[in-house]
């Protein structure tokens, strides 16, 4: 990967610039270079080379100073990021610390970030489900947000395109609200998970329990071997960086693929200040950057710009990209940029026990779990809340060892743990409704260490979310009871928005420039050579994990942008 040297405008001019190197930015880089465009990828964090900069990937628990746990002083210094399940001694180097990049919480919001090459693609939970027309048609049918300018048919071939390259495992389940994809062999359910699947199928015609669809290579295909990736080893240490490339990340897949073309220049430690708008040409001309180490300001130029800094940072960059033409942010003629931000509601939890299958247990590890697709308000409005929720599900059997005795007897006890009963659990992933009152904006009174306005976040739950949590707890309790589970316990974490790490919107797609910022090609209505294909572009959130959709949107938008560039339309 090339480095930038020299100060001449020629050396700082490219065919395309991609802001951000995470899941969507990596795909934009791969596609742009694949089309022959000299592409600059800007990343605000440091470089992370695949299988080089994964310092804890092969460490055993006893090799950590604190056996994998974070010291109390670290947790006290980082009350926000410490709430994330993936933040521990083996991964803390991949997370933004609370005091390093401050933001303003007008309402409580736990903003979890990963500033490095690859972004959060190193840390994600790797769940990959397609959207259906029940999701793309949702706003128009249910009367929230604005109508999506695309439908499933527009994205289906691009889902297939990215799935084959990324490597997605799963079953072809034939569920209308969860379209099948291009799947590698699925992971397997254990006996209690299969029991629950069978019981739900017997008692509910409209509900399914399926094996999760995940970005893990279970059977490498030639395209994966060509990337230098291998089969998932089921180590379940994914968030440390996978030396095998067994799960999809920008670092293991799209960025090295782009680098092989010789057309990608990667510049880490590059904090993007704003997109530069050329008043005479009537389009963006480049990007203004601050070097994270030297604080030096510089400018880079290109014909096409993809903004993929992750949803909230993309909003921040575009809002900060002001000019005489766009005093309120690039493309923000309608004043809606930063508004209608939504997220996924993860508050509901249900746990229980099961007395059956005591002659069986599990062996090894599995980096995935079963999934319950949305079943509420799919074909018709049947509840007192809009939209619905999906749910995760898993079962495991406990084991423990007696610590009594000394010497040989204690050693024998520790080497021969006794199996306990089966425990089952579920969590919800609810769709929240985009509202104008849920917004992000620039806080002009507070600047970050680079002199850029901090982001002010004002996002909260509403009555619809509360009703959805209640329904999830009731329905899952009923399903658990029907499956013969006992000691059922429900809980509402009351966690702040943000901990789901699925924030979306603020630069939404739509038909009408009066009510949206992007058209059906993820192109700014008012600035045709700027594209947004990360979470900021989302008009609504559905109940699926969003990353696969970002990948497909990015590949589709690049294909369009390159065609338009050749026609000299951008």
pLDDT in tens, 328-376: 999 999 999 999 999 999 999 999 999 999 999 998 999 999 999 999 9
Give the per-residue pLDDT at 400.
Answer: 80
Contact (Cβ atoms closer than 8 angstroms) between residue 147 and residue 140: yes
Sole residue written with tokens 């969860």: 178
Give the per-residue pLDDT at 3.
Answer: 43
Give the whole-angstrom CA distance, residue 398 versus residue 498. 31
492 pLDDT tier (thresholds 50, 70, 90): very high
Give the whole-angstrom CA distance, residue 197 versus residue 187. 15
Domains of the chain and any CATH numbers? 1-170+213-343+438-459+501-570 (3.50.50.60), 186-212+346-431+461-496 (no CATH)
- Both tokens of 403, joined, read 């610590």
pLDDT value at 398 more than 90 = no
- Both tokens of 80, joined, read 């926000």
Nearest to 123 by CA among 250, 24, 307: 250
Nearest to 108 by CA among 494, 544, 512: 494
Give per-residue pLDDT as tens, 56-112: 999 999 999 999 999 999 999 999 999 999 999 999 999 999 999 999 999 999 999
Give the whole-angstrom CA distance, residue 540 versus residue 434. 6
Give the per-residue pLDDT at 1.
Answer: 43
Give the whole-angstrom CA distance, residue 57 versus residue 64. 12
Neighbours of 558 (CB within 10 A): 29
pLDDT value at 8 more than 60 = yes
3-state secondary structure of 26: helix
Nearest to 135 by CA among 120, 156, 114: 156
Tell me the backbone φ, ψ of residue 185, rounded to 5 degrees: -55, 145
pTM, two decimal places: 0.96
- Give DSSP secondary structure letters for 89-147: TTTGGGS--TTTS--EESS--------BTTGGGGT---B-----HHHHTHHHHHTSS--
Greatest pairwise CA separation for the chain in angstroms: 84
DSSP strand pairing (39-42 vs 264-267): parallel
Give per-residue pLDDT as tens, 11-28: 999 999 999 999 999 999
What is the sign, positive or negative, of the torsion defined by CA atoms of 238, 241, 246, 248? positive
Give per-residue pLDDT as tens, 279-310: 999 999 999 999 999 999 999 999 999 999 99
Q: Tell me the average pLDDT of the chain.
A: 96
Percent of the chain with pLDDT over 70: 99
Give the whole-angstrom CA distance, residue 35 versus residue 261. 10
Please give the average per-residue pLDDT across 231-260, as a whole number.
Answer: 98
Give the per-residue pLDDT at 394.
Answer: 98
Give the per-residue pLDDT at 399.
Answer: 84
Give the whole-angstrom CA distance, residue 28 versus residue 22. 10
7 pLDDT tier (thresholds 50, 70, 90): low
Interior/surface letters 309-342, b for 16+ CB within 10 angstroms, e for the rest: bbbbbbbbbbbbbbeeebeebbbbbbebbbbbbb
Phi and psi based region of residue 141 (left: phi greater than 0; alpha: psi -120 to 50; beta: remaining): alpha
What is the sign, positive or negative, of the torsion defined by CA atoms of 91, 93, 99, 105? negative
Rounded to 5, what percent of the chain is helix, strand, coil? 25, 25, 50
Give the per-residue pLDDT at 403.
Answer: 78
| Secondary structure E strands in 509-553 | 523-524, 527-532
pLDDT value at 195 more than 70 = yes
Show the DSSP H helices in 216-303 as ranges: 222-226, 254-260
Give per-residue pLDDT as tens, 541-554: 999 999 999 999 99
DSSP code at position 66: T
Give the whole-angstrom CA distance, residue 343 versus residue 461. 10
């Amino acid at each position: 990967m090339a480095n930038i040297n020299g100060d001449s405008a020629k050396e700082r001019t490219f065919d395309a610039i991609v802001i951000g190197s995470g899941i969507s930015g990596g795909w934009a880089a791969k596609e742009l270079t694949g089309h022959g465009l000299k592409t600059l990828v800007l990343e605000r964090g440091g470089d992370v080379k695949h299988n080089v900069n994964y310092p804890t990937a092969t460490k055993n628990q006893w090799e950590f100073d604190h056996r994998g746990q974070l010291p109390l002083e670290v947790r006290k210094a980082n009350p926000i990021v410490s709430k994330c399940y993936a933040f521990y001694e083996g991964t803390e180097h991949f997370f933004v610390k609370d005091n390093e990049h401050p933001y303003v919480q007008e309402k409580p919001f736990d903003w979890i970030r990963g500033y490095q090459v690859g972004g959060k693609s190193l840390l994600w939970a790797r769940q990959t489900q397609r959207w259906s027309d029940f999701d793309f048609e949702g706003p128009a049918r249910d009367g929230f947000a604005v109508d999506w300018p695309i439908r499933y048919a527009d994205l289906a071939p691009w889902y297939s395109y990215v799935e084959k390259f990324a490597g997605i495992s799963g079953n072809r389940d034939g569920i209308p609200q969860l379209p099948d994809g291009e799947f590698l062999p699925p992971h397997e359910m254990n006996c209690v998970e299969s029991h629950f699947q069978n019981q739900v199928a017997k008692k509910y015609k409209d509900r399914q329990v399926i094996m999760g669809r995940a970005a893990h290579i279970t059977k490498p295909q030639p395209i994966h071997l060509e990337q230098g990736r291998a089969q998932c080893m089921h180590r379940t240490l994914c968030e440390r960086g996978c030396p095998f490339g067994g799960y999809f990340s920008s670092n293991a897949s799209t960025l090295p693929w782009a680098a092989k073309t010789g057309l990608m220049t990667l510049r880490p430690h590059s904090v993007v200040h704003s997109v530069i708008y050329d008043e005479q040409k009537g389009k963006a001309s480049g990007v203004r950057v601050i070097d994270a180490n030297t604080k030096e300001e510089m400018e880079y130029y290109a014909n096409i710009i993809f903004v993929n800094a992750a949803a909230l940072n993309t909003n921040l960059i575009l809002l900060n990209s002001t000019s005489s033409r766009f005093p309120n942010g690039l493309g923000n003629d309608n004043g809606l940029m930063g508004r209608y931000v939504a997220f996924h509601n993860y508050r509901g939890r249900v746990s229980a026990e099961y007395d059956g299958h005591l002659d069986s247990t599990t062996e090894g590890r599995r980096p995935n779990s079963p999934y319950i697709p949305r079943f509420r308000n799919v074909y018709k409005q049947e509840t007192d809340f809009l939209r619905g929720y999906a749910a995760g599900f898993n079962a495991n059997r406990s084991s423990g060892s007696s610590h009594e005795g000394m010497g040989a007897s204690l050693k024998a006890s520790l080497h021969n743990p006794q199996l306990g009963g089966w425990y089952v659990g579920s969590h919800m992933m609810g769709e929240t409704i985009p509202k104008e009152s849920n917004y992000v904006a620039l806080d002009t009174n507070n600047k970050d260490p680079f002199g850029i306005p901090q982001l002010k976040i004002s996002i909260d739950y509403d009555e619809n979310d509360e009703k959805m949590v209640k329904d999830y707890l009731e329905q899952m309790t009923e399903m658990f009871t029907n499956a013969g589970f006992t000691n059922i316990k429900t809980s509402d974490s009351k966690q702040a928005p943000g901990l789901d790490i699925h924030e979306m919107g603020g630069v939404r797609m739509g038909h009408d420039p009066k009510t949206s910022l992007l058209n059906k090609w993820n192109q700014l209505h008012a600035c045709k050579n700027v594209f947004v294909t990360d979470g900021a572009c989302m008009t609504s959130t559905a109940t699926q994990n969003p990353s696969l959709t970002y990948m497909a949107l990015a590949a589709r938008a690049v294909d369009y942008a390159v065609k338009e560039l050749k026609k000299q339309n951008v």
